[in-house]
Amino acid sequence: MTHTTVGVGLISVGWMGKVHSRAYQSIPVVYPELGITPRLVIAADTEPSRADYARDVLGYAESTLDYHEVLAHPDVDVVSICAPNFLHAEIGIAAARAGKAFWIEKPVGRGVDETTAVETAAVDAGVVTSIGFNYRHAPAIEKAKALIADGSLGRITNIRGTFFADYSAEPNGALSWRFNRKLAGSGVLGDLMGHLADLVQYMLGPVSDVTGMTSTIHTHRPIQKMGTGTHFDVIEGGEMGPVENEDYAGMLVRFGPDAVAAGAVGTLEASRVAVGPRASYNVEIYGTEGSLMWDFERMNELQVAIGRKGDLVGYQRVMAGPGFGDFSHFQPGAGTGMGFDDLKVVEARKFLESYVGSRHLNSNIHDAVSAAKIVDAAEKSAETGQWIAITPTPGVTSAIRA
Ligand SMILES: NC(=O)c1ccc[n+]([C@@H]2O[C@H](COP(=O)([O-])OP(=O)(O)OC[C@H]3O[C@@H](n4cnc5c(N)ncnc54)[C@H](O)[C@@H]3O)[C@@H](O)[C@H]2O)c1
């Protein structure tokens, strides 16, 4: 077996920076057959304590306060971009120009224009890209995708997706960068709807038309300094600042003629202020011969109903197991579940395989543009009340009809 060492640079050591780092470190253990050993070379964060943490705890050989040093480092082959949204386009374009493959968190830009600028830079430089669309990798989702593709559900007629989180359900939840239009772009649209748009396109194919509406439930929150705490924090008695983007978004969607689910219709909703659902990322898919239901809160379960006849028609609860996606790399048998961080290990595997050129199963920058088009259209439609056609994006990995 040939053995490849891949030098890793990390930009931003917040929640996602840590998760990416652990994912790289897991690769030789979880996927020994790949012969890929990531080496943590250098990490950057403008908050000195986080840069130190990357070096002293996460295991990077060096740390810096300036991300340009990561991109200029000769031992860095691939870069993880885990910065707040407003820096994604700037850093993504700089990474491409430095000739570095990059794994970038969603949303890649604050809208289609920024995302397309990153796409252009990546295509011009010919670098491999991968996007933080982690829900694709859940083994139950991979099984659901296969059941849709092989016709087990018949013709797909309608879908329902609800990405409901409570991370800001508390009115005194911190006003992190996520609520600032300049720093984040849109609110829950870019944060959670982008994930949902990608997930349904991955399973069912390109969306062709959308109409949407949005609302902001809590208009002011206590200010949180960048680089401190997390967006789950609650701050009592702090100075208040305005929320500049939406807490809730709802959309009607139609799938286009190229989609595996051509002609299907449905609803997509996202909220960051739901009380009750914690991180209930739910998709329901209905066909003429059967249906599927999956919820991230029960990530290792798939509800399946196949067939219309007999007394036992209805949903059956199936546990993800070795026949589902990458499950067997993590656990030997069904019932012992995987978790969120494991999805990032699968994502790192797909990114690194694509980088070394063996297989290209990763999401890519075109998928990010495609999701951004849906998010932007929902926001525009919320203002005008009109349906908006989504132009196709060449190069996506959505489920296209054979
Ligand atoms: N894929 C997912 O499920 C998922 C989950 C959470 C977050 N995200 C995405 O990951 C990104 C980061 O989110 P997070 O929750 O990790 O944020 P975070 O607030 O925990 O961390 C952001 C870090 O960026 C640092 N930073 C700010 N300016 C910088 C600069 N100029 N150079 C280097 N570092 C800088 C901050 O100091 C902080 O440590 C966001 O785009 C978010 O949408 C994705």
Residue 227: its pLDDT value, please? 85
The single-letter DSSP state of residue 58 is I
First to last CA, the chain: 34
CB of 11 shorter than 6 A to ligand 1: yes
CB of 12 shorter than 6 A to ligand 1: yes
Which residue of 21, 45, 351 sits with most ligand 1 atoms within 8 Å of its CB, as the best mutation to test the pocket?
A: 45
- Asked if 202 contacts 396 with a C-beta cutoff of 8 angstroms, the reply is no
What are the tokens at 68? 């340009």
CA of 233 to the centre of ligand 1 (A): 15
The tens digit of pLDDT for each residue in 287-320 reads 999 999 999 999 999 999 999 999 999 999 999 9
In degrees and rounded to multiples of 5, residue 79 shows phi and psi of -125, 135
Residue 102: which region, alpha, beta or left (left: phi > 0; alpha: psi -120 to 50)? Answer: beta
Percent of the chain with pLDDT over 70: 100
Q: How far apart are CA 295 and CA 285, in angstroms?
A: 12
Atom of ligand 1 nearest to the CA of 19: 16
CB of 198 shorter than 6 A to ligand 1: no
What are the tokens at 18? 């840590």
Q: What is the mean pLDDT of residues 137-162?
A: 98
Q: What is the mean pLDDT of residues 374-390?
A: 97
What are the tokens at 224? 């949180």
The tens digit of pLDDT for each residue in 211-236 reads 999 999 999 999 999 889 899 999 99
The torsion of the CA quartet 178, 9, 27, 122, rounded to 10 degrees, works out to: 80
Atom of ligand 1 nearest to the CA of 191: 43
Kindly tell me if the per-residue pLDDT of 8 is higher than 70. yes
In degrees and rounded to multiples of 5, residue 209 shows phi and psi of -150, 145
Kindly report the average pLDDT of the chain as a whole number.
Answer: 97
CB of 154 shorter than 6 A to ligand 1: no
Residue 238: its pLDDT value, please? 92
| Three-state DSSP state, 49 | helix
CB of 226 shorter than 6 A to ligand 1: yes
* Shortest-distance Cα residue to atom 38 of ligand 1: 227
Place of tokens 């993880």: 80
What are the tokens at 103? 């794994």
Residue 1: its pLDDT value, please? 67
CB of 82 shorter than 6 A to ligand 1: yes
Place of tokens 């208040």: 240
The tens digit of pLDDT for each residue in 327-380 reads 999 999 999 999 999 999 999 999 999 999 989 999 999 999 999 999 999 999
CA angle 55, 56, 60 (to 5 degrees): 30
Q: What is the mean pLDDT of residues 48-58?
A: 98
CA of 254 to the centre of ligand 1 (A): 32
CA of 72 to the centre of ligand 1 (A): 21
CB of 14 shorter than 6 A to ligand 1: yes
Q: What's the Cα-to-Cα distance from 352 to each of 10, 77, 80, 247, 330, rounded to whole Å?
A: 15, 10, 11, 35, 18
Percent of the chain with pLDDT over 90: 98
**Reported pTM:** 0.97
CA of 90 to the centre of ligand 1 (A): 14
Kindly tell me if the per-residue pLDDT of 197 is higher than 70. yes
Which residue of 42, 52, 82 sits with most ligand 1 atoms within 8 Å of its CB, as the best mutation to test the pocket?
A: 82
In degrees and rounded to multiples of 5, residue 154 shows phi and psi of 75, -150
The tens digit of pLDDT for each residue in 206-216 reads 999 999 999 99
- Asked if 358 contacts 342 with a C-beta cutoff of 8 angstroms, the reply is no
| Confidence category of residue 155, pLDDT binned at 50, 70, 90 | very high
* Shortest-distance Cα residue to atom 6 of ligand 1: 16
The single-letter DSSP state of residue 220 is E
CB of 132 shorter than 6 A to ligand 1: yes
| Confidence category of residue 200, pLDDT binned at 50, 70, 90 | very high
- Asked if 320 contacts 326 with a C-beta cutoff of 8 angstroms, the reply is no
The single-letter DSSP state of residue 221 is E
Q: What is the mean pLDDT of residues 103-107?
A: 97
CB of 121 shorter than 6 A to ligand 1: no
Kindly tell me if the per-residue pLDDT of 136 is higher than 90. yes
**DSSP secondary structure string for all residues of 301-333:** EEEEEE-S-STT-S-EEEE--TTSTTHHHH-SS
Atom of ligand 1 nearest to the CA of 177: 19
- Which residues have CB under 8 Å from 10's CB, separation 6+? 17, 20, 21, 40, 42, 43, 44, 54, 58, 60, 70, 79, 80, 82
Residue 75: its pLDDT value, please? 98
Q: How many CB atoms lie within 10 A of CB 57?
A: 11
The tens digit of pLDDT for each residue in 235-269 reads 999 999 999 999 999 999 999 999 999 999 999 99
Q: How far apart are CA 269 and CA 65, in angstroms?
A: 38
| Three-state DSSP state, 183 | helix
CA of 227 to the centre of ligand 1 (A): 9
CA angle 312, 286, 266 (to 5 degrees): 150
CB of 83 shorter than 6 A to ligand 1: yes
Residue 2: its pLDDT value, please? 77
In the chain, the amino acid numbered 396 is V
Kindly tell me if the per-residue pLDDT of 119 is higher than 90. yes
- Which residues have CB under 8 Å from 357's CB, separation 6+? none
CA of 16 to the centre of ligand 1 (A): 6
Q: What's the Cα-to-Cα distance from 93 to each of 88, 104, 355, 356, rounded to whole Å?
A: 8, 11, 18, 21
Q: How far apart are CA 108 and CA 366, in angstroms?
A: 11
